[in-house]
Structure 1
Amino acid sequence: MKMRSVLAGGIALAVISAPAIVGMAAMMPISSAVAQQATLNLTGEGEGRLTIGSRPAQTVTFVTVTSQPGGRVEITLRLSDGNLLRWGGQLARQGGGEAQIDLRNSGMADAMGLLTLRYQGNRLISLLGEGTIDSQPMSIRFTIADDSVSRPPTTPTNTLNLTQSGTGTFGLQGRPNRNINFASVTVQQNNSAELSIRLADGNLIRFGGQQTRRDASDIVVNLTSSGNANAQGTANINYGANNSINSINANGTLDSQPFFIQFSGQQVSRPPQPPTVPPSNQAIACSGQMQNGWRYRAEAVNRRFTQIRWERTGQLPTVTTLRFERNNAQGEPVYRGAFRAATEVTLIDLSRGNPRRGTQTSVGVEEWGWSRGTCR
């Protein structure tokens, strides 16, 4: 299989009238030899193998490594199924085109290990390492070369233009959240993508990136730029008939500052319906299936979700216990849990706290993606 490297910079798209991004990480008490090294901003496209515990090995197709003054490092792994993993660590040594990183975390999970990377300029050459994630053994072997790499086909490949008025929130660390009233998504035939959001004050923010997966209702975009600013992250777009946008959920970093986007498209108005609130002791179950074949049944009692039951052919069933975390900007309850105590699970009650027959849930599992469940 041939492979090629990708330089940082991606797609240069403008941030129109948006305030300048400010703020850098404070220096941390590490050795002066490391603290004085230039920050890393590396990208590499190729093929690698990631194993965690007894799970099937996963293919890694794209890696970014960024560091901040003080030595804090973020490693982003793009898997062949379009999902994104983020690791955090601390720079231990750097010089001569090589760096070593002490692995500290994997999303919400604890992690330990040593990662060794080789690079030339802004080009990542290889990433090797071993350690543990939530006490499970982990191994990563990733390399690039100068030739092109074969990617899984993305279907369909025709140009797609989506636009939608609606409501949402754009959040950037250290700044007040800002309201969104319009969004658009354009995907070209070469899979380059642009995500634009218009804020309530009239400002427009554009992100550029690459489509990594598309089906009849969902698009996954790997965000790589925002005008002259560096951007990293993933956008999940759910769309419907007449090129409408149902929802956008995105998060990542913008010039090293964490950001998020939550947007819901304006729904067609319907005649008022009488309220149908189930008795407080009535149990509701909402079922769906993840793309990797795991079927789930989310159960709610007294209008609060308490657990998710998981089943898959050839696998032992398991249960995720849920805890209420907060209501999001749309007033939808958000619950958290874990799959087999190792992988983060999120459930969003799209009924806004009144689950009943016909309403939906959105279930997301780290490394698996998102799925809609229907309540019965």
Structure 2
Amino acid sequence: MKIRSILAYSALACSAVVTAISTPQMVGAAIPTFSSTVIAQQANLNLVGEGEGTLSIGSRPSQTVTFVTVTSRPNQQVEISLRLTDGNLQRWTGQLVNHGAGEAQIQLTSAGAADATGTLTVRYQDNTLISLSGSGTLDGQPLSILFTIGDDSISRPPTPDVVTLTQQGQGVFGLQGRPNQNISFASVTVQPDDSAELSIRLSDGNNIAFAGQQTRKTAEDIVLNLTSSGNADAQGPANIRYGPNNSILSLSANGTLDGQTFFIQFSSQQATVQPPVAPPASGAVVCTGQMQNGWQYRAEATNQRFTQIRWERAGAETTVSTLRFYRNNAQEQPVYRGSFRAATELALVDLSGGNPRQGSQVSIGVQEWGWSRGNCR
């Protein structure tokens, strides 16, 4: 396919299709938005590429993109246009946040009159656009694009893989001292250098983004070490199971955010059936409670250290999870880790500060199940 390179392509009111979720602050929570990288040089982009790509927005049928232009201005504003096979033109606007070495990153701000958020990655050679990729949200709907030019005569620089996962679903975000909030959308982006961003959209329309580092990746899951959220410090692991078409099957995270404990439990949208509730377990030195899915637990402590959790549910085989001490959180509360049937990760937080006794409590979180408070006696 013939490539059109235009040295001074101007005045095509364009606009972009893109990635990751922006981060308006939660009301009353110390979760600031991510700040844009300052561009040191005032270099303009005038890029054109003809090829083939796929644009997906929410539940609409995917559309084919055949032509893309990217134009930047001295004030770092960027216009991007996408020509579709049906003749329509998608126009987006954004802000240039990084530029150099044949690659640019653009933070999406709007699409016509609709709100849009995300980060678009553009790769180019001279004035020829080589590829455009990313995912994010458009008017609250998940959005993704992947476009490449159709001419192999261009000397293409190496393009390391950027992993982008998105999913609409259901989940819960909890922050110490505040009511839990429902999650409706999640995305994860991992760069070639293993730097990562995890974003969640709350049911009230606010977004929260965490930065971190990928520490493990397999064919089924990714593990991140979270380090910050905007200007706030964050600590804790995030476990993401992913499936076909870059979908997120489940996401769980827990740790501290600006000194407060938090958790995230999210999964793709599925109907759940509440099983019958079994009688509560009893014991002398135990902490008991029940998860929302009906599993009852009995966490046992010996010499002020938790060693195991016994799981019971009517009609199901009893299961025992062995616990190992992980670390103390910012409130000096011991955190233990384990797994349910060697497959599903779980965590126990000793809310007594290391002195479990009658009247104290524990907080237990299981991947995909959520969190529950247990009472000790």
Same fold per TM (> 0.5)?
Answer: no
TM-score after normalising by structure 2: 0.39
Which has the greater radius of gyration? Answer: 2
